[in-house]
Structure 1
Amino acid sequence: MLDFQHITKVFNAGKATEVTAINDITLQLEPRSYTVLVGANGSGKSTLLNLIAGNTYVDTGIIRLHGKEIQRLPDYRRSRWVARVFQNPLIGTAASLSILDNFRMASLRRSRKWVKLGADRLFTQLVRDKVSTLGMGLENKLAQPMGTLSGGQRQALTLLMTVMADVDILLLDEPSAALDPRSARKVMEIADRIIRENKLTALLVTHNIGEALRYGSRLIQMESGRIVRDYDQRAKSELSQTEVVSWFDYY
């Protein structure tokens, strides 16, 4: 379980620009659950993901993963359990390295044996088999530099690379926002499959109402650093797109 107890995060404390990004949130996410976070810009969604990943630390409160406090662990320690996919397809991959080398780098979090083995035939076949599941034909282009691929291809590969290590939690920070509609749908379908097949605990931040209703088993709306709505799977299934759109002024 991922457990938040009264967590708070304030930026620029004591200054005129002070912002309370997370305001006394208590929240429990069950193992293998898939939660969608929505809210206006500045509502605290990405800050919450940053607090989970260790990119920033809570000011007060406790974050527990499987009963162990992690709120003071640095991000490189948490990367053993937590993977993240960002909005920008350029983040999370090395553009000058091949697809295969990117996967080799991703695998290092799981086991040091890959440092010794490198990209031997066994590892290459493993990557080829995984990449073939995307249905993009990239399994025959493993020597191609990552930077020559389209945004949708890179994002799909990034999703696959997150599970090269034995992670528990997948953070999806608007992974389809920078993509064209067709690529966005493909990437979200791939993400959904990876989450289910690997039994991950997932959090998806999105501004896309269609995605918010289609994916996940729980829907949370944040506002001014607080959770203002929290729908379980049954209640979420009864929501209409018009109703969710009405929550926000910017749609």
Structure 2
Amino acid sequence: MLQLQHITKTFNAGKATAVVAVDDVSVQLEAGSYTVIIGANGSGKSTLLNLIAGNTYADKGRILLRGREIHRLPDYQRSAWIARVFQNPLMGTAASLSILDNFRMAALRQSPKWMRIGVDAAFSDAVRDRIATLGMGLEHKLLQPMGTLSGGQRQALTLLMTVMAGLDVLLLDEPTAALDPRSAREVMEIADRIICENGLMALLVTHNVHEALRYGTRLIQMEGGKIKRNYDRQAKSALNHAEVVSWFDYY
């Protein structure tokens, strides 16, 4: 369970340019839940993910994961339980390293025996088998530099790497924003499968109304740093595209 209790974050506090990015947000997310967060630019969506991941700290409030306070922990400590996929495919992988070495780095996140990981055939075979599930033929290119792959391929591999060492929470920060429509569909279907197969708690931030309606078991709309709408599975399933579009002036 992930609990956000009265979380507030203000940038440039005390100045004329002050912006309350997240304003007294409280929400509870159950293990295995898949929540989609939608909202206009500047509504606080990505800031909320930053606060959960530890990329920035809340001014007020608490964040608890499985009952443990994590809001004071730096991002590198939270990475043992929380992984994030960014909208830019370049951010989730090391371009100059091979596919196999990228997976080795991902596996180091929780292993105390880091010197052994990835140096034997068993690890290579495990990575190859996992990549084969993507259906992209990349299992035959383990030694190919990551930087030579397409954005969609890199995002798909990033998703697989997030579960190499196990985690509790997967944060998806507009993971298809930089992809063409076909690649975007492939990446979202892969993400959905990985989330379901591993029983992950997931949060997806998106501007895409189709993605917001198709994926997830819960839909939250943010506006002005607050949660404006909060739909559970049943209420979400009753929504239609036109209704969600009507929430936003920018569409």
* Shorter-chain TM-score tier: over 0.9
Please show how residues 139-218 of structure 1 align to structure 2 within 5 Å.
Answer: 139-218=139-218
Distance 2:28 2:243 in 1: 25
Residue 140 (structure 1) shift = 0.3
Alpha-carbon spacing, 1:101–1:130, altered in 2? closer, same or farther (3 Å): same
SS state at 2:91 partner? coil
Look up the equivalent residue of 1:91 and give its one-letter code: M
Query: With structure 2 as the length reference, what TM-score do the two structures score?
Result: 0.99
Output the amino acid matched with 1:51. L
Identity of paired residues, percent? 75
Deviation at 1:114, TM superposition (A): 4.0
Paired residues of 1:220 and 1:229 also in contact (CA < 8 A) = yes
CA deviation profile, 1:191-232 (whole Å, cap 9, x unmatched): 000000111000000000000000000000000000000000
How does the TM-score come out when normalised to structure 1? 0.99
2:40 alignment counterpart: 40
Given the alignment of the two structures, is residue 55 of structure 1 paired with residue 55 of structure 2, yes or no?
A: yes
2:116, 2:149 → 1: CA distance?
28
For residues 54 and 18 of structure 1, the distance between their equivalents in structure 2, rounded to whole angstroms, comes to 21
Q: CA RMSD of the aligned region, Å?
A: 0.7
Q: Which amino acid aligns with 1:197?
A: E
Is the Cα–Cα contact under 8 Å of residues 57 and 72 in structure 1 kept in the other structure? yes
**2:46 aligned partner, one-letter code:** S
Matched, 1:244 2:244: yes
DSSP-derived class of the 1:23 partner:
strand
> Any unmatched runs of 5+ in structure 1?
none
Which one-letter code corresponds to 1:228 in the other structure?
K
**Cα distance between partner residues in 1 of 2:112 and 2:182:** 38
Residue equivalent to 1:224: 224
Q: Would the aligned equivalents of 1:99 and 1:142 in 2 still touch at CA under 8 Å?
A: yes
Shift of 1:117: 4.2
Within 1, Cα distance between the matches of 2:48 and 2:117? Answer: 37
The equivalent of 2:118 in structure 1 is 118
Separation in 1, partners of 2:171, 2:54? 12
Q: Any gaps of 5 or more consecutive residues in structure 2?
A: none
CA distance in 1, matches of 2:162, 2:103: 9
> Which AA in structure 2 matches 1:106?
A
Is the contact made by 2:96 and 2:147 (CA closer than 8 Å) also made in structure 1? yes
Between the aligned partners of 1:250 and 1:236, the Cα distance in structure 2 is 21
Q: Which amino acid aligns with 1:247?
A: W
Deviates more, 1:114-123 or 1:187-196: 114-123
SS in 2 for 1:118: coil
The CA deviation at 1:110 is: 2.4
Cα distance between partner residues in 1 of 2:117 and 2:184:
35
Preserved CA contact (<8 Å) 2:152 2:179: yes
SS at match of 1:112: coil
